[in-house]
Amino acid sequence: MFGIQGRLTALFVVIVTLVLAISGTYAQYSLGHELEVSNQRLRQGVLTRLQTSLPSALWDLDKAKVDNIVAAEMLPPELVAIRVYDTSVGLFSGKLRNDGGGVVSIENDAPVGGAPVVADLAYRDSGAAGASLKPVIVGRVVVNFSRAQIDATLAAEVRRKVTEVLLLDLILVAALALSLRIVFEPLKQLRDGLFDLATRGSDEVEELADNRHDELGEVIRGFNAIQRRVKSIIARIREAEDEARKSAQETARALDDLRRTQESLLQAERLASLGGLVAGVAHEINTPVGIALTSASVLLEATEKVHQAIEGGNIKKSDIMRYVETAGESTRLIMNNAYRAAHLIHSFKQIAVDQVSEARRRFELRDYITEVVASLQPKLKKTHIHVTIACPPDIVLDSYPGALAQVITNLTLNCVEHAFEPDAEGTIAINVVQDGEWIEMQVVDNGKGIAPDMIDKVFDPFVTTRRGQGGTGLGLNIVFNLIAKQFGGNITVSSTLGHGASFVLRIPMVTPVDEAHPAAPAHPDGQLHA
């Protein structure tokens, strides 16, 4: 591609050449027109003179006079030949211009070059006195005209114009080259300076010489000012980058510390939940075990009394009947409370083991939800809240029961602690349906609902409405992380203030084994569909 200098030169050359070509074409046309008019006048004059002077000489058959007339008319170089014909004799006289430019006589009627023009020669006889003049055709004249002179003149003019155009173009190119050099040399320096500034270190680029005192000198001084400003900006940017790099490193360290702290808090929250479960179990088992121990003590005391009576030999039937009655009642109490304790231990044992081990296994969902809710009875029996479970009996999951127990526990206790006022009656419903290879579980309460400004933040860590009252704000965050990361599902929440809240979670029946869990397809309205 041509540079601007080359394009400007080419543009000016084209414009000048075009203008000169148009001017030359018009001049050539005018010259040709003038030559044509002049040639036409020459033809007309030659024919007029020949038609005037030749008829009388031809009438008199004066060949010498005819030759003189013809020779006199052959002086202009445009005439190639003049032939005079008599009506009775034929070729009477003629002159021809040879190749050397000389005029020679024509002895025969051979072909002649040039364009022929034929005119009749009329002689007017005066006749008798008073009679009208009658023209008599005595012969004809043939004049051959040549265009060589016109063509030569036009060709010479064309050569002159072409030479003029070429000379002017050369002068213009030389003038433009010198003129544009004055402008483009400083621009080239500016270009090289900008390229160096863009590709090399700012410290390596020198300022341009500003010894010019014209407009381009002002541009160069402006460029140097910009260069100094750019160097200053680059220096500040480097300082800012260093500071940003240090800040990023500090932020990364702080983020790692925060992540470890969060993991510790999450682990502490889960252990606190497990500790609450153990405390509840211990409290629940304490009552039946105490009753069984008391009944065993009563039975032991009655047995010792009967044994002493038998050794003393004064045993009575009434003593034996009283012992049998006491033994029966104590045995019944011991059996009932031992069965109650065994049932509580069976209900809590698997839940505690699952929460500690986080092992994966197959389990029947409805029975497992029932066991989880049973493990929450120590907490629930202190309230007026009733938990209902609606789950088909044939849903079997291949998943992590401990994590699911943590989810159900946190959602249920979240409803207990936040949805209802103390001593208020309420209902928490756990509804489950199967949707292909997925299950959809809804935990819904009829409590006071969630405030609109909190609905979008309930799953964020450390967000709680019970700050300073034992709330950590991690319960629902643990639920969200378990559902999204461990189960590969999702969870949504909806609520109307004063009409309760609904948590809908969707998880696959077979939890993916890889870490990249597929996202669960959520229903358009985010609610449970039976």
Mapped onto helix, strand or coil, the DSSP state of residue 127 is coil
Handedness of CA 21, 27, 31, 33 (dihedral sign): positive
Using the CB atoms, write b or e for 389-401: b if 16+ within 10 Å.
eebeeebebebbb
Among 178, 190, 193, 179, which Cα is nearest to 216's? 190
Residue 130, pLDDT score: 44
Domain chopping of the chain, boundaries = 4-167, 204-357, 359-530
| Amino acid in position 33 | H
Is 253 buried (19+), middle (13-18) or exposed (0-12) by CB count in 10 A?
A: exposed
- Helices 148-199 + 4-59 axis angle, to 10: 180
Assign domain 4-167 to a CATH class: alpha beta
Q: What is the dihedral of CA 189, 191, 192, 194, to 10 degrees?
A: 120
In terms of residues, how long is the chain?
A: 530
- Spatial contact of 345 and 285, defined as CB atoms under 8 Å apart: yes
- The span from the CA of 266 to the CA of 271, in Å, is 9
pLDDT tens, 348-384? Answer: 554 555 554 567 889 999 999 998 888 888 778 888 8
* Cβ atoms of residues 357 and 406 within 8 Å: no
Taking the C-alpha atoms of residue 186 and residue 220, their distance in angstroms, rounded to an integer, is: 8
Report residue 24 as tokens: 């030359």
Residues 6+ apart with CB under 8 A from 161: 20, 24, 27, 28
Question: What pLDDT shows up at residue 392?
Answer: 93
Q: What is the pLDDT along the chain (530 residues), one digit of tens a residue?
A: 456 667 777 887 888 888 888 888 888 888 888 888 888 888 888 888 888 888 888 888 888 898 898 888 888 888 888 898 888 878 888 888 887 878 888 878 778 887 888 888 888 765 544 445 678 888 888 888 888 888 888 888 888 888 888 888 888 888 877 877 777 777 777 777 777 766 666 566 677 776 666 666 777 777 777 777 777 787 788 888 888 988 889 888 888 887 777 666 656 655 555 565 566 556 667 777 888 788 788 888 888 888 888 888 777 777 788 888 888 888 888 887 787 677 666 655 545 555 545 678 899 999 999 988 888 887 788 888 999 999 998 899 999 888 888 899 889 988 888 888 888 889 999 999 999 999 999 999 999 888 888 888 888 876 666 554 545 566 788 888 889 888 899 999 999 888 899 999 999 999 987 544 444 444 434 333 32
Q: How many CB atoms lie within 10 A of CB 286?
A: 11
Dist. CA 501–CA 412, nearest whole Å:
12
So what CATH class is 359-530? alpha beta
Asked if 20 and 83 touch (Cβ cutoff 8 Å), the reply is no
Within 10 A of 462 (CB to CB), how many other CB atoms are there?
Answer: 12
**pLDDT at position 439:** 93
d(CA 519, CA 477): 18
Taking the CA atoms of residue 175, residue 176, residue 181 and residue 184 in that order, the dihedral angle to the nearest 10 degrees is: 170
Locate 109 and state its tokens. 């009627």
CA–CA distance, 447 with 498 (Å, rounded to integer): 7
In which residue are the tokens 């065993």 written? 296
- Same topology for domains 4-167 and 359-530, yes or no? no
Q: Give the integer Cα–Cα distance in Å for 70 and 54.
A: 9
Q: For residues 335 and 341, what is the distance between their CA atoms, to the nearest angstrom?
A: 10
pTM to 2 decimal places: 0.41
Whole-angstrom distance, CA of residue 479 vs CA of residue 507: 12
Contact 478, 406 (CB under 8 A): yes
Q: What angle do CA 152, 158, 161 make, to 5 degrees?
A: 140
3-state secondary structure of 130: coil
Q: What is the DSSP code string of 68-104?
A: HHHHHHT-STTEEEEEEEETTTEEEEEEEE-TTS-EE
CB 95 within 8 A of CB 103: yes
